[in-house]
């Protein structure tokens, strides 16, 4: 990759990050599992029992597990530690995860596709309406994509 292409990709990632941050909505949709993730992060910081999130598990209606794996809450914990229960900052962290995923995506895609296709793909993903929806949730989607694509590249 040439220096000009590198600058263009980094500039694209920065512009996508600014666009994603500028279009964040206030508050949070209250229909996801984000509360458990945040409570797990809080438990990690306070030394409480990890699974004690005050969720009443109903074995007859298995909508949510009793607790979630600790990977995503470990990444939420520093944000919770420094900013408390600040949904805006947690959403900003989601955008950073997304940008890092795009970076990993570029590393893998440059092996197989031309620069123009990769750049088009980055922009298509970066301003996709689906991504615009996902960035509003404090969920493990983008962190999962980082691990998934990194693993696929290593394989």
- Walk along the chain (155 residues) in steps of 10 and give the mean pLDDT of each run: 93 96 86 83 92 75 76 96 94 96 95 95 94 88 95 92
Query: How distant, in Å, are the alpha carbons of 77, 101, 140 from that of 137?
Result: 16, 16, 9
Count of domains observed in the chain: 1
Is residue 71 within 8 A of residue 97, CB to CB? The reply is: no
CA dihedral over 16, 17, 21, 25, signed as positive or negative: positive
Q: Quote the domain boundaries for residue 21.
A: 3-154
Best CA proximity match to 122, nearest among 146, 145, 105: 105
| pLDDT value for 36 | 86
| pLDDT value for 108 | 94
| pLDDT value for 107 | 93
Alpha-helix runs per DSSP H in the chain:
3-22, 34-46, 71-83, 87-109, 115-126, 129-134, 141-154
| pLDDT value for 31 | 67
| pLDDT value for 26 | 86
Rounded to the nearest angstrom, the gap between the alpha carbon of residue 137 and the centroid of all alpha carbons in its chain is 9
């Amino acid at each position: 990759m040439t220096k000009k292409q590198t600058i263009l990709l980094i500039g694209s990632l920065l512009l996508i990050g600014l666009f994603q941050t500028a279009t964040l909505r206030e508050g949070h949709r209250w229909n996801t599992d984000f509360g458990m993730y945040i409570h797990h992060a809080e438990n990690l910081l306070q030394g409480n029992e990890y699974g004690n999130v005050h969720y009443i598990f109903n074995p007859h209606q298995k909508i949510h597990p009793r607790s979630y794996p600790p990977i995503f809450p470990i990444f939420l914990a520093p944000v919770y530690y420094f900013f408390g229960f600040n949904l805006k900052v947690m959403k900003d962290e989601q955008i950073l995860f997304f940008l890092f995923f795009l970076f990993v995506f570029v590393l893998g895609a440059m092996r197989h596709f031309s620069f123009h296709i990769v750049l088009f793909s980055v922009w298509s993903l970066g301003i996709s309406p689906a991504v615009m929806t996902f960035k509003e949730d404090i969920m493990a989607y983008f962190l999962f994509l980082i691990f998934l694509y990194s693993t696929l590249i290593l394989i």
